[in-house]
Amino acid sequence: MKGKAVVVGGSIAGLSCAHALITAGWGVVVLEKTSSPATGCATGAGLGLDPLSQKLIKSWLDQPHTLDLTTLPLTIDQNEATDGEKKINRMLTRDERFNFRAALWSDLYSLLYKALPPGTVHWAQTFLSFRISDDENCVKVKLKASQSGEVTEVVGDLFVAADGCLSSIRQSFFPELKLRYSGYCAWRGVLDFSNNEDSDTILGLKKAFPDLGKCLYFDLGSGTHSVFYELLNKRINWIWYVNQPEPQLKGNSVTMKVSSDMIAKMHEAAEKVWVPELMKVIRETKDPFLNVIYDCEPLGQIVWQNVVLIGDAAHPTTPHGLRSTNMSILDAAVLGKCLEKWGVENLASALQEYQSTRLPVTTEQVLFSQRLGRIKQGLQLPDRQPLDPRTASWEDCEELQQKKMPFLSDMPSILSHIKQLED
């Protein structure tokens, strides 16, 4: 029998799920509320792909080399202390065996979307509700067409929630669950310098940060930190985390609309913290935006009958461990191989193996990402004093390295085919 999956959410997690399930021999329908594919969208900004995610994406593409053509290698992970008064940096940690690749969200999205069979994604479809049949053999998903308002129903053997950290589907199983505000927000932006490579800003940045183009830089100030690295096609991705009370969000998004006054105040505050070379990049970036950072206590369950959560719907996480996209891709791959192994007639066994494989890993990674963020932001933890990067020793900072992420290099046994492909 060939199973049919209905996936709600057409972002990276949903598209990865489509690839993995199609590879497993399933039919897939992806329902997405936006009206068309995202192109040139900045709100996803930059992201880092770990080695396993790179291998998985390449296994889904007819031309695997295109992933390398749309990303840049990040071979160094470096943490630095910034003295806001003296405007100088000093190195805290450096890992030269960092094997990630940097991608712009919209570039990775476009690569995954174009590699799917035409018609896989159904656009402008707003998810309304779902219902498991009385015999538990199928799920009926009700949706509304955004333009016409027509309400229709799609039936599948499996229902996949890939609808992000504010998942309404997860809420139906955990009605009391509330996301946990991290205590800080993130200003983000991408500076395109393709037409201005020899500007004082870019030349100054490359002089101050000589490994730009292959390094993931974390600059730690007093009670704050920033991240920046180069993307393909002469772009700089930067993020600045700011401790503040929780803002009031409107709509189903963790991205806030910002005014020119808010941006001006951000520039003024950043001027006091960062070295001039980085500050010029922030000031020259068009349309910076603000993300509110949430996670939640790890869930104890992510499958129910023939319903499954993947990606941020299954494990909302803070961004410091570069886990959100990578966990979503690995969720999709493990789910696909479990379905291929067990078949649609043994769906319950497939979903239980998916859950037992992923939950121990995602639980530890969510908690470590949260811890990493609190340390870098100078926030309190029960087992260590707040980090002061100006006086911190190497031992104080060893935990800040990305390679300390639990299960970072572990490949689930069910994905042993990836190793075979390499061999």
The number of folded domains in the chain is 2
Give the tokens for residue 368. 């470590």
At 251 the pLDDT is 73
Q: Note whether residue 390 is domain-resident.
A: no
Query: 107-124 burial, b if ≥16 CB within 10 A, otherwise e?
Result: bbbbbbbebbeeebbbbb
Of 259, 291, 323, at which residue does a domain stop? 291
Of 291, 325, 343, at which residue does a domain stop? 291
At 122 the pLDDT is 96
C-alpha to C-alpha distance for 356 and 352, rounded to whole angstroms: 6
Q: Note whether residue 379 is domain-resident.
A: yes
- Mean pLDDT per block of 10 residues along the chain (423 residues) reads 94 98 98 84 77 97 96 97 90 96 94 96 96 93 95 97 96 95 95 94 96 97 95 95 90 85 96 95 94 95 97 96 96 98 96 98 97 94 91 90 95 83 54
Are 55 and 154 within one domain? yes
Range of the domain at 95: 76-101+182-291
Whether 156 and 26 have beta carbons less than 8 Å apart is answered as no
Closest CA to 280 of 204, 190, 192: 204
Q: Write the CATH number for 54.
A: 3.50.50.60
Q: Note whether residue 389 is domain-resident.
A: no
C-alpha to C-alpha distance for 261 and 266, rounded to whole angstroms: 9
At 416 the pLDDT is 87
C-alpha to C-alpha distance for 189 and 286, rounded to whole angstroms: 8
Whether 57 and 67 have beta carbons less than 8 Å apart is answered as yes
At 37 the pLDDT is 87
The pTM is what?
Answer: 0.95
Of 256, 291, 326, at which residue does a domain stop? 291
At 269 the pLDDT is 96
Q: Note whether residue 25 is domain-resident.
A: yes
Are 313 and 359 within one domain? yes
At 63 the pLDDT is 96
Are 243 and 348 within one domain? no
Q: At 74, is the secondary structure helix, strand, or coil?
A: strand
Q: Note whether residue 415 is domain-resident.
A: yes
Q: Write the CATH number for 84.
A: 3.30.9.60
Are 355 and 374 within one domain? yes
Closest CA to 402 of 100, 21, 43: 100
Are 20 and 111 within one domain? yes
